[in-house]
Each structure stands twice: as structure tokens, then as C-alpha cells.
Structure 1
């Protein structure tokens, strides 16, 4: 397969793209991950959403109660001007049992994405076990919480996010085996003398080339990542036929073989409410800005 080098925008340019896009009230810069973790003795879905706009930057966590209507939520402000506020602890009760949330963003490296790049942790502790751990400072998290790793590993069920760009859209997600994340690059050429085209690469290797997007603005193909089948679905109708700064492309990266070779919209292919018998999928909203 053809190797394709990654194009990385300067941080200032990425921030400007995000700022321009978020002037549209319908656009939110977000990353949402749905995990399954053992909290207060039950396996529950824990939804983690990073949100960022011109005024705020927050982490929102939603813990479901599979046995009733009561749910549990809390929010962490990452944009606080107080340095001490970037490290904290919150406690709440789930089914009458205490759950602690520890975090430290004091040295976190940030980009245009609402999710920090590195040097941070968020640890959810239940029954003296770290049941969900976010970030790369794992040793620091275990030392501070004084808790052991959970006997039941948390599982990432779904990921959904928005990205912004003119020609290039970058993301990271888990594909194939294991927990390793892969770099995804979507490159477009929508104007010029030739027909509009799109290229999708994983870890710098070109996997899909879609020509004549006027006719193939929706579709799907099966590729192999780490010798495992991965389905990639796309719907870029709005890139071609919507007003500038209002069109989004929809992409789904999903484990397993396709059951529908006719393509379709990503909204129905990555359902956050499906159970743990479903394969992981990543839903990506790619906002094209001028």
C-alpha cells in the first residue's frame, strides 16, 4: 500500500480553525468516550465527555445506574485560573457506596482538542480499586489514590468526537487488537480541475482512496489493521453541498466484517446505547472550515 506522510497544522492554526468553527452555534468541540467499568459492585457504563469552547473547558462524567432511573454526574473545570484547582478530589455515592474521583491537570499538555495530550490523570476509585483511569500518569495516580488496580478491567465501548480542518482531519483511536491507539488522517481535495477526492490513512499508510466524491459521497470499505478486519464508513454529502463552515463529514471506524455493503450514515452505525456484546466503534464528525 502507498505510504502517506502526515500533515500537522501548527498549534496556532489549529486553534484558529476551532475558533472559527465554534462561531457556528451548532458546532461543539468535544470528545466523548463510553467505558464499561465496575462501579459499586456492578458493571456500569461510564460516559466521559471533554468539552471546549471559547469560554470554558470541562470534563463531564456520567455514571449510569442499570437498575434504576437515578444516575450520577460530576464536572471538572479545566480552565480554572487557580493553579490549585487543577488538582482535586470529588466524592459521591453510587447505590449508597462512596466513589472518589482524583485528578491532576497541573502539567497537562493541551492542544486544540478538548482532550489533553499527555501529562495528566483522572482516576475513579470504587471499593478501594481504581476502576477507570484516564491519562498517562498512571504511577502518580496509583500513588495518590493508595488503591489497587481493579480486578475487572474497564473496556472502551465507543468513542465520538468532532475535529476541524480545511483539507486535513486528524484523530486517534483503537483499532485491531489491544489498547494501542492508531493515528488516523483524512485528506481531501474538493476543488480544482479534477474530480473531488478523499484519502484515509492509518499510521501513515494509505488504506482507502475515494475518487469522484460527487457520486461516492457515501460508502464503506473493509480494511485490515493489525491483521484484523475494520470497517470504515463515510458520509461527506455536506462537504460538497452545504454552505461553507456548515458542513460536516461523518466517519465510522468499526471492528469486524460489514453486514451492509451498501454504505449508510454513521449515525446509525455507532450506537452509544448498545451493549457489551457489540464491537468497539469510533464515530468522527469532521467539520470543514474555510
Structure 2
């Protein structure tokens, strides 16, 4: 798979091609594990323009890190980027500003009390607030009151849409993450299980909140495919590509994508996500998971 933000910059993401070739080094694999990328579509100023905001959470031996980049929605032209260095050597709360042509972006963050799981993305005890021309367009985290007080803004309805998320997972046969498939809906636990060792006929299972929603038998013949499940009453198209797990263990990864499908017109072709962006009422969300097998 190509780099996640650039894929959506072209309004699509190919997942038939796995995340790396068999020539990738194990160090590259490990660095990729500590990366979560989220993509948002947000209004830019008051002229009816919109932009893409990419939030990147990272983790390495030096500590945690946060990156914010902005692209113009209609042209995918980069408008700017802010990087907050690993927190071992920088403040865990603060603010930075960036000029975006005729607009100004302010980023406020407080991660001093943030709590983390295995992922570099914090679970709770934090906020990240992004303002365009002193108007809040994106607020992440559970400390909203503190964010509004710090930024001097008031609670307002935001037209920002959570478009996509890419996350790297690793394990021996079990892979876990969480996802929110629609608006302010429930956050669901996702589990992917696939046992390869010593099995002539490996099987793939996917569970949502501990309930099995999908099972793929004869995986050697069905190493790529797609299947529709229902989550919160919304159709979700699940794509999988476990070719590397079966036939190229040196590459080490498999690719899974969960794509909400709100209407028949949003139905995807087997290996591409086209028309990621559209009208809000037809908005769809994509979750891309890169699963690496531990040695």
C-alpha cells in the first residue's frame, strides 16, 4: 500500500498491493507498527472551501509524537505542517500557529495526563484542538471543557468529517483495535483472528464486540475478498488480503479495510476505495488495518 495521506489525496486507496514488499527490513516493520494516521475533512475559513487535516500519532524510543498537516481539498496542495517532537524533550501541552494563505491555523494540545494503550494514539485524558481563523474546526480527546477554556472558543456545531484511519497492528494470531463507524456512534472492539501455523486449511475470523460477524474458510483459495456486515444497522464492507501471510512470510503483513456503505451507490469495487469524499449525507468512513505477524 502506498502512503496513506497521499492515497486519499487522490480520492482513493488501493489495498490489493500489500503494505510492503518482501524486501522490507524488520526494522521498517517495527517502525511502522508505532504509527496511527487519521484523516479529516474540514471547512477552511468562511468562503466555502474545505481542506484535509491529517493527524499522525507516533511512538519511538524517544517518546510519543504528534503531527498535523493540512492540504487544500480541491487540489491536494500542501498548505503546511506542524510537528510536535517526542514528549521526552518537549512540553506535553502548548500551542503552535501556522499561516495558511489567507487563513491562520492554531493548534492547542494538552497530553500531560494522557493515558495510552498499545497504540501511540491516546485513549483518554487529553485534547487536541485545531482552529481556523479563531473558529474551532476539530477537537479530539475527552477534555473538551479544558480545550474550550484554553482556546477561548465556545461550543459550536462543526462540519468536520472523520474520513479515514490507518493503523498498524501486530501479533501471532490475534489482532485488536477499536473503531467508531458512524458519527457519534458507539466505539466498537474489533478482533481479527487467523491461525496459520500447522494448519492445512487456515481460517480467518472477524469479531465485533466479541460477536463473530465474518468467517472465511479455505483461506488458501480465498486469500483476497470482500464481505458485507452490519454494524449499528449500517452496512460495512470488509476487504481482506492475506496473501503475504500465506505465500510470502518474509513480507509479514496482511491488509484489512472496513468501509461504511450508506447506499448502493457507495458500493466499492473489490480492491479500491473511490469517491472517499462527497456530500455529508453520503459520507463514508474507511478503517485500514495493516496486520504484521510476530516472528
For normalisation by structure 1, the TM-score amounts to: 0.81
Farther off after superposition, 212-221 or 191-200: 191-200
Q: How many residues align?
A: 261
Tell whether 2:100 aligns with 1:94: yes
Following superposition, the deviation at residue 124 of structure 1 comes to 0.8
The separation in 1 between residues aligned to 2:70 and 2:232, in whole angstroms, is 32
- The answer to whether structure 1 residue 275 and structure 2 residue 282 are counterparts is no
Which consecutive residues of structure 1, in runs of 5 or more, have no partner in the other structure? 1-20
SS at the partner of 2:116? coil
- Structure 1 residues 260 and 149: CA distance shift in structure 2, 3 A: closer
Q: 1:223 aligns to what?
A: 229
Contact 1:131 1:150 in 2 (8 A): no
68, 79, 82: which one aligns with 1:74: 82
Q: 1:89 deviation in Å? A: 0.8
Q: Deviations over 1:258-288 (max 9, x none)?
A: 8468x44xxx33x6x8423452111111111
Contact 1:128 1:148 in 2 (8 A): no
TM-score, scaled to structure 2: 0.80
2:258 is the alignment partner of 1:253? yes
- Given the alignment, which residue of 43, 50, 58 partners 1:43? 50
* Matched residue SS, 1:24: helix
- 2:66 counterpart of 1:59: yes
CA distance in 1, matches of 2:223, 2:36: 25
Q: 1:103-114 alignment to 2 at 5 Å? A: 103-114=109-120
CA gap 1:43/1:199 in 2 versus in 1, 3 angstroms: same
Provide the residue aligned with 2:164 in structure 1: 158
Q: CA deviation at 1:25?
A: 1.9
Aligned positions of 1:1-290 closer than 5 A: 23-27=26-30, 28=32, 29-41=34-46, 42-55=49-62, 57-66=64-73, 69-81=77-89, 85-176=91-182, 178-244=184-250, 246-256=251-261, 259=267, 263-264=270-271, 268-269=272-273, 274-277=276-279, 279-290=284-295
1:224–1:66 CA distance, 2 compared to 1 (3 A) = closer
Shift of 1:216: 1.2
- Measure, in 2, the Cα distance between the counterparts of 1:259 and 1:176: 17
Question: Comparing both chains, which one has the higher relative contact order based on Cα–Cα distances under 8 Å and sequence gaps of 6 or more?
Answer: 2
Work out the CA distance in 2 between the residues paired with 1:67 and 1:212: 44
Once the two structures are superposed, what CA deviation does each residue of 1:19-43 show, in whole Å capped at 9, x if it has no partner?
xx99432551211111011233332
SS in 1 for 2:121: coil
Cα deviation, 1:53-97, whole Å, max 9, x if unaligned, reads: 334532111111346645111011243245xx0011101222233
Root mean square deviation, CA, Å: 2.4
Give the CA deviation at 1:140: 1.2
Asked if structure 1 preserves the Cα contact closer than 8 Å seen for 2:136 and 2:158, the reply is no
User: Do the aligned partners of 1:125 and 1:147 also contact (CA within 8 Å) in 2?
Assistant: no
- Counterparts of 2:117 and 2:39, CA distance in 1: 22
| Structure 2: runs of 5 or more not aligned | 1-23
SS of 1:149's partner is: coil
